[in-house]
């Protein structure tokens, strides 16, 4: 709000001399050097510019207030001692109640792009979309030697790298299995692509 007040104050100072300017009908003919239409156009231009500046300052303040946390690796993102089959079963149980869908994210803690994708899922522009529509289960693949049968079961190929994503319905039915390395280079992926994917596979009507 302070930025908005500052912008408004600055605009008032700019407009003050224009507000105080008065022309009589004969001023233009007597050669005042400032045509009446120029004063009107200048005033309108300054007012429009001031509104745009105020809006930009407000948006900037909101962006700072909602700034995403810095990127950090999460050493516990993939738990090599977890039971992914049990976690998937639990996610399906919850999904039957809240009618969300399930995201299976195959990867490992050694995979930078896996951490980047998880970071994207927690950014302000994407997190509500994930939280409101999906249960996320991270499936550890070790050094491509663990839980591979789960990826195969859910139609997800790991041949082109990880992270690899599968989407299940609220009853556990496979809706999408990654086969072309769509998320393998998550660090280079436009967040808009992730948003588009999540919107495509979220429960209908949401």
- Determine the Cα–Cα distance for residues 46 and 171; give it in Å rounded to an integer: 59
Model confidence at 39: pLDDT above 60:
no
Q: Which structural domain, as residue segments, surrounds residue 181?
A: 84-201
According to DSSP, the β-strands at 101-107 and 134-140 are parallel
- 74 in a structural domain: no
Same domain, 9 and 36: yes
With vertex at residue 187, the alpha carbon angle to CA 185 and CA 188, rounded to the nearest 5 degrees, is 75
Same domain, 100 and 54: no
Same domain, 49 and 109: no
Same domain, 12 and 89: no
- What long-range pairs does 36-41 form, CB within 8 A, spacing at least 24? none
CB-CB contact of 180 with 160 (8 Å): yes
Model confidence at 93: pLDDT above 90:
yes
Highest mean pLDDT (candidates 16-25, 65-74, 184-193): 184-193
- 71 in a structural domain: no
Listed residues 16, 37, 65: the one ending a domain: 65
**What is the average pLDDT score of the chain?**
81
CA distances from 14 to 22, 42, 44, 52, 119 (A): 16, 11, 12, 15, 45
Task: Count up the domains in the chain and report the number.
Answer: 2
Same domain, 39 and 94: no
Over residues 117-159, the pLDDT tens digits come to 999 999 999 999 999 999 999 999 999 999 999 999 999 999 9
Same domain, 135 and 181: yes
Same domain, 191 and 91: yes
Same domain, 104 and 156: yes
Same domain, 91 and 8: no
Q: What is the pLDDT of residue 50?
A: 58
CATH assignment at residue 185: 3.40.30.10
Q: Where are the beta strands (DSSP E) in the chain?
A: 101-107, 134-140, 164-168, 174-177
Residue 131, SS3? helix
CB-CB contact of 132 with 173 (8 Å): no
Per-residue three-class SS string for 28-48? CCCCCCCCHHHHHHHHHHHHH
Same domain, 48 and 130: no
- Determine the Cα–Cα distance for residues 73 and 66; give it in Å rounded to an integer: 21
- 159 in a structural domain: yes
Same domain, 20 and 89: no
Q: What is the pLDDT of residue 47?
A: 55
First to last CA, the chain: 34
Enter the pTM of the model.
Answer: 0.69
Q: What is the pLDDT of residue 21?
A: 46
CA distances from 80 to 76, 124, 140, 162 (A): 9, 29, 6, 16
Q: 10 Å Cβ neighbour count for 139?
A: 27
């Amino acid at each position: 709000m302070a930025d908005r007040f500052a912008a408004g104050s600055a605009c008032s100072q700019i407009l003050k001399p224009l507000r105080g300017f008065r022309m009589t009908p004969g001023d233009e003919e007597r050669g005042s050097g400032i045509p009446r239409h120029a004063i009107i156009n200048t005033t309108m231009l300054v007012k429009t510019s001031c509104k745009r500046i105020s809006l930009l300052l407000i948006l900037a303040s909101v962006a700072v207030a909602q700034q995403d946390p810095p990127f950090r690796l999460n050493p516990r993102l993939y738990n090599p001692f977890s039971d992914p089959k049990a976690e998937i079963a639990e996610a399906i149980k919850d999904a039957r109640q809240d009618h969300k869908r399930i995201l299976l994210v195959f990867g490992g803690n050694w995979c930078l792009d896996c951490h980047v994708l998880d970071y994207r899922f927690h950014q302000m522009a994407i997190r509500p979309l994930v939280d409101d529509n999906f249960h996320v289960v991270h499936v550890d693949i070790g050094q491509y030697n663990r839980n591979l049968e789960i990826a195969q079961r859910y139609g997800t190929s790991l041949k082109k790298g990880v992270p690899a994503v599968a989407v299940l319905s609220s009853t556990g039915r496979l809706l999408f299995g990654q086969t072309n390395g769509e998320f393998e280079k998550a660090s280079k992926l436009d967040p808009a692509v992730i948003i588009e994917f999540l919107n495509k596979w979220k429960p209908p009507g949401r």
